[in-house]
Structure formats: structure tokens, C-alpha cells
């Protein structure tokens, strides 16, 4: 039995604690340290350690200097990722950085370039592809059951952004904007399903209802709460995103459909339902089932996806095999979010090459 992999958490707010609960439940790994400038967040990490020893630091650079870890999980606010990554990458240790990899295309490009020669696993936390029903229909599409893939449609109808430590998520300058911060997940799924890179983006959206009555140092939040985005891919696949963040009155928060030449697959989150049908059988041949994964020991806020992602991350570290969610995935999802924002800001179709 090899020694447990030792993890350090950088940022122990909502997502950092989800990572910690996942890691607590996984054999052969342990969270040995945490860094967060907010005392309440550090105290929450100590509580979540449930009696296990955990070294705490108010500055992540002290955590790096202590050199206690084999891997770092970065869950600090989006706007900190670029600087934190620059320091953590000097360690040469395995890294999982939360989405979005960075808030701007320039910073994402910088990190991508560094990651390409990084001597250890560099993983971006785009875990929606690990949601069991989503993974199921991705596999159905990749296995050829739907024929040549032509269209991907994603709808996210959910609650508004939650309250964060220091309210950092109320301003686009901190998050990269809603379509980068939140929707990088969906752009990543589109690219993964299309098996192609985007060429152009058209989007329409605004801040219709949410957070308009809030004030932070006299400023009103500027984050979009609804949008439609259309993406064309190099190989002719087209994809759409329908986002509403004032749609609590929904059974499912995410609905995905993939349509190919011969069939269609759909997944619904959180119900876990999937449907797969073939054109030649019309609606009589649509098979419906609920997909779960018995390996999930911690559901977290993401229906077990971040738990499953950690199983693969740990395997990649142990075997020193490439990340399965890469800096390139992180980069493209930021590019697509930025293109969608530019399209909204300027009311026009944006060619992806304008941003590269
Ligand atoms: N993958 C997902 O589905 C998912 C879901 C939620 C959040 N996230 C991402 O996780 C990250 C954290 O989000 P959250 O919801 O946990 O926010 P949060 O506000 O709940 O927690 C962020 C924590 O980071 C700490 N922090 C701030 N600056 C820091 C620094 N320089 N070093 C270390 N810690 C620092 C804050 O004090 C806070 O405790 C963001 O990048 C967010 O986009 C991802």
C-alpha cells in the first residue's frame, strides 16, 4: 500500500469544503493543510476535517513554503486564480484549479502556455461532465448510437447566484462575467460533445431582475441573469445555451440534448433521467432510465460529479497520467464565455479568431 496522497486546499469556502468532504471519503488520500485569509472559512475547514490533523495558513504562500502536500486544490475566487496559479505552479505539485481557469482570455492563455510544459497533473474543475446522466449521454453520442452529431442544446434554469465570502461574485470584473463564471461548464460540455473547437458565437442577454436592489460600497452588481447563446463549431456542429437564473420554479435545473443524424439523447439534472431515441422508431422507441453511479459516496452540490472527478484526479496523480480535464479545456471554456459577452456587449456575431 503506497503512502496516502497529501492534499492542500487553497480557499475553503463553499467549493473548497465540497472538495474536502469528497477527499475525506476517498481511500488513499488525505487533506493535510488548508489556506484561506478568512478566519471563518479556515475554521470551517478545521470542522470539516472531523478530528483529522490539518495545518492551517492565512496565506497560501505560507502553505506552499511549508511543502506538506503532493497536490493542491485551488478554490479561491475566480479573480485570484491567475496569481495563485503562478505561485502554485512553481511548486511542481499536482494541481486542480476550480473553474473558470481565469477570468480573461489573456490570463487563460498565459496559464495554458505554462500548463503545456507542467511536470505534474494540471486539472481544471469542470466537473459537469462527471454528472452520471451527463456522462451517460456523452458516452452514447461518442459510441455512435446517434449517428453524426449535429446539434447540442443546453438549458440551465436555476436560482440566482448564491452569497459568497466578501460578495466577490456580484461583479463581472471578479468573476469574468456570468457566461464565463457559470457557463464555462456548458461551453466545456458543448466542445466535448462536438469534439471540435468553436468558430463563432452569437449571444443575447442582460441583467433583468437579480441583485438590482443590492449595493456593495455604493455599487450595484452588474452580473447577467439570463441569456441565449448560439455557438458554431469547426466541424459544423451547432450548440445553444438557454440560461435563466430566476427559474427556481423548475423540476430540473439542467437539461441537455444531443441530436445526431439517426438519434437523440437527453439528460435531466437533478432528476437523473435520460432518454435515448432513434428517428426510425419515432417516439415509440424512446428508452427512459434514471442513471446513478454507485461509486458516489458524497453527493455535494453537484450530484456526485466533483466526487467522481476526484477519483480520476487521484488516479492521474498516482500513475502520473495526463489530466482528463485539461488546461486546454479550461482555456476554451473561458474563450467561449468571453466571446458570448463580447457578442452581447456589441450586439453582433463574434468570430472566435478575434479573441485568440
Ligand atoms: N465547479 C463548480 O461547479 C463550482 C461551484 C462553485 C464554485 N466554484 C468555483 O470555486 C471557487 C470558489 O468559489 P466558492 O463558491 O467556494 O466561493 P466562496 O466565496 O464560498 O469561497 C472562496 C474562499 O476563498 C477564500 N479566498 C479569497 N482569496 C483567497 C486567496 N488569495 N487564497 C486562498 N483563499 C482565498 C475566501 O476567503 C473564501 O473562503 C470559484 O472559482 C468558483 O467559481 C466552482
Residues paired with residue 233 on neighbouring β-strands, in sequence order: 198
What would the mean pLDDT of 204-208 be, rounded to a whole number? 98
Q: Note the pLDDT of residue 139.
A: 98
In angstroms, what is the span from residue 162 Cα to ligand 1's centroid? 12
Question: Could you give the CA distance from residue 38 to residue 243 in angstroms, rounded to a whole number?
Answer: 32
Residue 280 reports pLDDT greater than 80: yes
Q: What pLDDT digit, counting tens, does each position of 159-189 carry?
A: 999 999 999 999 999 999 999 999 999 999 9
Contact 145, 137 (CB under 8 A): no
Cell of 191: 466542445
What are φ and ψ of residue 267, in 5° steps?
-135, 145
What would the mean pLDDT of 309-314 be, rounded to a whole number? 98
What would the mean pLDDT of 204-229 be, rounded to a whole number? 98
127 lines ligand 1 (CB under 6 A): yes
Strand pairing class (254-260; 149-157): antiparallel
Question: Could you give the CA distance from residue 305 to residue 253 in angstroms, rounded to a whole number?
Answer: 15
Assess whether 202 and 64 both reside in one domain: no
In angstroms, what is the span from residue 328 Cα to ligand 1's centroid? 21
Residue % of the chain over a pLDDT of 90:
99
Q: Angle at the Cα of 205 (from 204 to 208), degrees rounded to 5? A: 150
Domain around 101: 5-126
Q: What pLDDT digit, counting tens, does each position of 257-276 carry?
A: 999 999 999 999 999 999 99
Q: Which of 73, 107, 126 is the last residue of a domain?
A: 126
Assess whether 122 and 139 both reside in one domain: no
In angstroms, what is the span from residue 120 Cα to ligand 1's centroid? 23
Count CB atoms within 10 A of the CB of residue 248.
Answer: 11
Contact 30, 93 (CB under 8 A): no
What would the mean pLDDT of 102-119 be, rounded to a whole number? 98
Assess whether 285 and 169 both reside in one domain: yes
Residue 139 lies in a domain: yes
User: How distant, in Å, are the alpha carbons of 13, 120, 137 from that of 164?
Assistant: 8, 31, 32
36 lines ligand 1 (CB under 6 A): yes
13 Cα nearest atom in ligand 1: 21
Question: Could you give the CA distance from residue 180 to residue 99 in angstroms, rounded to a whole number?
Answer: 9
41 lines ligand 1 (CB under 6 A): yes
For ligand 1, pick from 35, 84, 98 the residue to mutate: most ligand atoms within 8 Å of CB. 98
Contact 155, 254 (CB under 8 A): yes
Does the N-terminal peptide bond of residue 100 adopt cis geometry, omega within 30 degrees of 0? Answer: yes
* Environment class of 108 (CB within 10 Å of its CB; exposed 0-12, middle 13-18, buried 19+): buried
Query: Atom 30 in ligand 1: which residue has the minimum CA distance?
Result: 76
What CATH code is carried by the domain that includes residue 69?
3.40.50.720
Contacts of 259 (CB under 8 A, 6+ apart): 146, 149, 150, 151, 152, 153
Task: Count how many domains the chain has.
Answer: 2
Contact 164, 13 (CB under 8 A): yes
Residue 224 lies in a domain: yes
Contacts of 249 (CB under 8 A, 6+ apart): none
Assess whether 135 and 53 both reside in one domain: no
In angstroms, what is the span from residue 76 Cα to ligand 1's centroid? 4
Residue 2 reports pLDDT greater than 90: no
Check the CA dihedral 279-285-288-294 and report its sign. negative
Assess whether 92 and 185 both reside in one domain: no
Assess whether 218 and 204 both reside in one domain: yes
Question: Could you give the CA distance from residue 123 to residue 222 in angstroms, rounded to a whole number?
Answer: 30
56 lines ligand 1 (CB under 6 A): no
Question: Could you give the CA distance from residue 120 to residue 117 in angstroms, rounded to a whole number?
Answer: 9
Residue 1 reports pLDDT greater than 70: no
Residues paired with residue 268 on neighbouring β-strands, in sequence order: 255
Residue 218 reports pLDDT greater than 80: yes
What would the mean pLDDT of 41-59 be, rounded to a whole number? 97
For ligand 1, pick from 36, 177, 329 the residue to mutate: most ligand atoms within 8 Å of CB. 36
Assess whether 119 and 143 both reside in one domain: no
Assess whether 108 and 175 both reside in one domain: no
Comparing CA positions, the residue from 37, 58, 56, 57 lying closest to residue 46 is 56
11 lines ligand 1 (CB under 6 A): yes
Amino acid at each position: 500500500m503506497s503512502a496516502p496522497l497529501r492534499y492542500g486546499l487553497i480557499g475553503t469556502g463553499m467549493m473548497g469544503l465540497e472538495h474536502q468532504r469528497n477527499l475525506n471519503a476517498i481511500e488513499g488520500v488525505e487533506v493535510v493543510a488548508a489556506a484561506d485569509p478568512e478566519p471563518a472559512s479556515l475554521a470551517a475547514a478545521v470542522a470539516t476535517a472531523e478530528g483529522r490533523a490539518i495545518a492551517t495558513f492565512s496565506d497560501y504562500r505560507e502553505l506552499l513554503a511549508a511543502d506538506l502536500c503532493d497536490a493542491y486544490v485551488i478554490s479561491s475566487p475566480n479573480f485570484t486564480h491567475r496569481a495563485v496559479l503562478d505561485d502554485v505552479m512553481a511548486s511542481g505539485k499536482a494541481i486542480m484549479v476550480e473553474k473558470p481557469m481565469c477570468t480573461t482570455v489573456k490570463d487563460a492563455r498565459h496559464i495554458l502556455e505554462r500548463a503545456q510544459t507542467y511536470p505534474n497533473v494540471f486539472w481544471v474543475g469542470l466537473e459537469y461532465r462527471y454528472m452520471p446522466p451527463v456522462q451517460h449521454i456523452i458516452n452514447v453520442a461518442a459510441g455512435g448510437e446517434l449517428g453524426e452529431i449535429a446539434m447540442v442544446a443546453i438549458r440551465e434554469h436555476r436560482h440566482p447566484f448564491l452569497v459568497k465570502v466578501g460578495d466577490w461574485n456580484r461583479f463581472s470584473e471578479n468573476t469574468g462575467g456570468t457566461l464565463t463564471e457559470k457557463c464555462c461548464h456548458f461551453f466545456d460540455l458543448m466542445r466535448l460533445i462536438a469534439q471540435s473547437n468553436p468558430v463563432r458565437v452569437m449571444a443575447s442577454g442582460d441583467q433583468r431582475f437579480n441583485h438590482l436592489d443590492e449595493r456593495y460600497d455604493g455599487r450595484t452588481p452588474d452580473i447577467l441573469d439570463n441569456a441565449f447563446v448560439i455557438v458554431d463549431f469547426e466541424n459544423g456542429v451547432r450548440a445553444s445555451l438557454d440560461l435563466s437564473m430566476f427559474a427556481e420554479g423548475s423540476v430540473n435545473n439542467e437539461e441537455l440534448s444531443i441530436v445526431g443524424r439517426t438519434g437523440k439523447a437527453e439528460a435531466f439534472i437533478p432528476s437523473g433521467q435520460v432518454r435515448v431515441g432513434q428517428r426510425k422508431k419515432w417516439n415509440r422507441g424512446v428508452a427512459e432510465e434514471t442513471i446513478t453511479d454507485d461509486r458516489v459516496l458524497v453527493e455535494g452540490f453537484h450530484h456526485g460529479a466533483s466526487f467522481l472527478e476526484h477519483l480520476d484526479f487521484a488516479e492521474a496523480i498516482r500513475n502520473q497520467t495526463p489530466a482528463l480535464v485539461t488546461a486546454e479545456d479550461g482555456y476554451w471554456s473561458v474563450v467561449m464565455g468571453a466571446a458570448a459577452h463580447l457578442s452581447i456587449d456589441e450586439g453582433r456575431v463574434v468570430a472566435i479568431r478575434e479573441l485568440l
